[in-house]
Structure 1
Amino acid sequence: MHSVTPRGRLAMVGFLAGALVLTAPGAAFADWPPSNGTQGHTKQTASSNAGTLMSKVTYSGSVRGGGDGPAVQPVTNWTPPACWYEPRSVADFKQYVETMYEDTINTPGQANYAKAAVAQFRDIYKDGKYKDYNEKNAGDGNWWVAVQNPDRVDDPASMECSKLPFWVKNNDNPGVDQAVTPKILAEAAYNAIHLPPTKVTLAPENVTKVNLATWAWLDKAKFSEVSVTASLNVAGLNIQATTRAKPVSLRLEPGTGDAETIPASGVCTINADDSIGEPYAKGKADQDPPCGIKYLRSSGDGTFKMKATITWQIDWTGTGGAGGDLPDGTFGTTQDVTVQEIQAVNR
């Protein structure tokens, strides 16, 4: 099982601009917490670096990593969440703030305004409103902090979770739209899915003839459903969501207008056995395939760039019976196809 832990930044929006405002939580939701357990009473191990806070969300399954493999491209302008809020224990939050404070103050050449900002930030939780990070109430609640989606840290939307860390009692609704839920985990998992290669099997392979039907198919054994599970088990909040991507159709684009697709739409739908198209078999040379292309002219000394695009149907299930659909996704690749004239035989 492969898992990765993304990194997110704790929001300090407002300090560097001179605005020292602690924002209160907004309206509550009807269903909280989104789990069968309770919030709080879980011992946490602090893990932080100066200026950053590790998100506790982990991913398992067919996960992308280090640019490995293609990602699902939503067919709409839908995007995964850029940021969200997660709970932190008193010990974890305290270590984060103290580490950030010490590193900022002691860094040679650090700007005075940055030192002043981090000192004001620390003062709210150490010596100000809460006193020593609310440690006396450590068993009754947790700090909720903003983290960024590691895949969208350069997106301005990742700064929309701009509330300063705020205290939430056990099982109370944090009252922010981006509070982590199974759906948010499902959307984050969508963006982490690693797709299998999309190379289509062709017959004839790579080199075909004018007016000869080229058969195209995807073997179900090599091309099947993939999924990623995103989990969060922190500060007593234990939730997860599994996002599944299932291939449902293949679109063929010949790479030239002088060609016919089979079917005419160019879209080959999935079969009952989860394959797409049909493998060529001996004796079918004069038949039209259920999925394929017929080129009407030669590619000359070059090739045609045939594009094969898979449409993936995306859905998810999560803690407490939650679930639903997410936007379909696609991924396409091109393959070089050489088309030759059929040579006549003179007698």
Structure 2
Amino acid sequence: MPCFDANWGWFSNHDGCYYRLRDPQPAPTEAVWAGHYPDGAVYDVSCLDPTNGPATSGGWTWLASAPEGFGATATTPGDVAARAVDQMALVGPAIGITVTPDKTGLVGVPVWLWTAVSPTTWGPNTATASVPGLSVTATARATQIAWDMGDGTVKVCKGPGTAYVAGGVHSPTCEHVYVASSAGQPNDAFRVTATATWEVTWTGGGTSGTLTVTRSSSTTVRIGELQVLVTG
């Protein structure tokens, strides 16, 4: 249904009725005020009839505040697509890293980077959102992760990365090599932030489109230097 109609006023999703501010307002002695005058306002109400469409049988009603949807702009398919994305509950990457917060890595040793793959951390993820008269289905897929390694380096990886394999040295898909220790950083650790970029395609309301969203998560990494003791 259109959000606004020149004859019936503004549409409310709450009850499927149109509301128009009564102009002029009824006299203070009118029963519709129910003793509330001058608080609130009186509205003409036109509720939907499934067979015949809007009807004027709703009459007048007093409301303490404007009804839901009153004065709103029209809801577009893109707006509903954004609601579908909200329903997906997308989150930042489920960070996988060879140097977990309880360990200390070494300068010069590759640090593998990856995310556990699930509908909320990498996708695909699909949801449908609706308002009266409009339904939109959206599908989201992550396309890359930008890894801010905390040392001034940002590593962009086009996939979810590869989980560490015991005995492995270099990750086949996503890694970073620190060239300095994290000594002197807050808590002597680099803060690593992973930001996933999601591409969302949607269809509904006789049209389609795309939108982009991002989600982030963080962890910390301690990096030390290997000390070699030489005795004579």
Q: TM tier, shorter chain? A: 0.5 to 0.7
Determine if the alignment matches structure 1 residue 255 to structure 2 residue 150: yes
Structure-1 separation of matches of 2:47 and 2:90:
45
Q: Deviations over 1:224-263 (max 9, x none)?
A: 222221124x5xx4x4211122111000111123xx55xx
3-state SS of paired residue (1:329) = strand
Structure-2 separation of matches of 1:134 and 1:325:
35
Count how many residue pairs are aligned between Structure 1 and Structure 2: 201
Structure-2 separation of matches of 1:24 and 1:54:
18
Alignment partner for residue 124 of structure 2, among 192, 212, 225? Answer: 225
Contact 1:215 1:289 survives alignment (8 Å)? no
Larger radius of gyration: 2
Equivalent in the alignment of 1:314:
200
Determine if the alignment matches structure 1 residue 268 to structure 2 residue 157: yes
For the aligned residue pairs, the C-alpha RMSD in angstroms reads 3.9
Change over 3 Å in CA distance of 1:281–1:106 after alignment to 2 = same
Determine if the alignment matches structure 1 residue 245 to structure 2 residue 131: no
Using the TM superposition, give the Cα deviation of residue 160 of structure 1 relative to its aligned residue in structure 2, in angstroms. Answer: 4.3
Structure-1 separation of matches of 2:141 and 2:50:
44
Using the TM superposition, give the Cα deviation of residue 334 of structure 1 relative to its aligned residue in structure 2, in angstroms. Answer: 1.8
3-state SS of paired residue (1:200) = strand
Change over 3 Å in CA distance of 1:210–1:319 after alignment to 2 = same
* 1:147-226 matched pairs, under 5 angstroms: 147-148=68-69, 159-161=71-73, 178=74, 180=75, 182-206=77-101, 207-221=104-118, 223-226=122-125
Structure-2 separation of matches of 1:223 and 1:186:
19
Query: Which residue identity does 1:303 align to in structure 2?
Result: A
Structure-2 separation of matches of 1:256 and 1:159:
50
Using the TM superposition, give the Cα deviation of residue 318 of structure 1 relative to its aligned residue in structure 2, in angstroms. Answer: 2.5
Query: Which residue identity does 2:179 align to in structure 1?
Result: L
Using the TM superposition, give the Cα deviation of residue 183 of structure 1 relative to its aligned residue in structure 2, in angstroms. Answer: 4.4
Alignment partner for residue 223 of structure 2, among 339, 343, 346? Answer: 339
Greater fraction of residues in strand: 2
Q: Deviations over 1:95-151 (max 9, x none)?
A: xx9xxx99x8346xx451x35x31xx33xx5xxxxxxx489x8732227xx854xxx
Equivalent in the alignment of 1:49:
none
Structure-2 separation of matches of 1:338 and 1:319:
51
Determine if the alignment matches structure 1 residue 325 to structure 2 residue 220: no
Equivalent in the alignment of 1:293:
176
3-state SS of paired residue (2:226) = coil
Contact 2:99 2:222 survives alignment (8 Å)? no
Determine if the alignment matches structure 1 residue 142 to structure 2 residue 54: yes
Aligned residues with identical type, % of pairs: 22
Contact 2:91 2:216 survives alignment (8 Å)? no
Alignment partner for residue 33 of structure 2, among 92, 96, 105? Answer: 105
Change over 3 Å in CA distance of 1:53–1:319 after alignment to 2 = closer
Structure-1 separation of matches of 2:179 and 2:224:
10
Using the TM superposition, give the Cα deviation of residue 93 of structure 1 relative to its aligned residue in structure 2, in angstroms. Answer: 5.5
> Whose relative contact order is higher, 1 or 2, with alpha carbons under 8 Å and at least 6 apart?
1
Structure-2 separation of matches of 1:190 and 1:159:
25
Greater fraction of residues in helix: 1
Change over 3 Å in CA distance of 1:53–1:289 after alignment to 2 = same
Gaps spanning 5+ residues in structure 2: where?
56-66
Equivalent in the alignment of 1:282:
166
Q: TM-score, normalised by structure 2?
A: 0.68
Change over 3 Å in CA distance of 1:193–1:288 after alignment to 2 = closer
Structure-1 separation of matches of 2:193 and 2:47:
59
Q: TM-score, normalised by structure 1?
A: 0.48
Contact 2:92 2:194 survives alignment (8 Å)? no
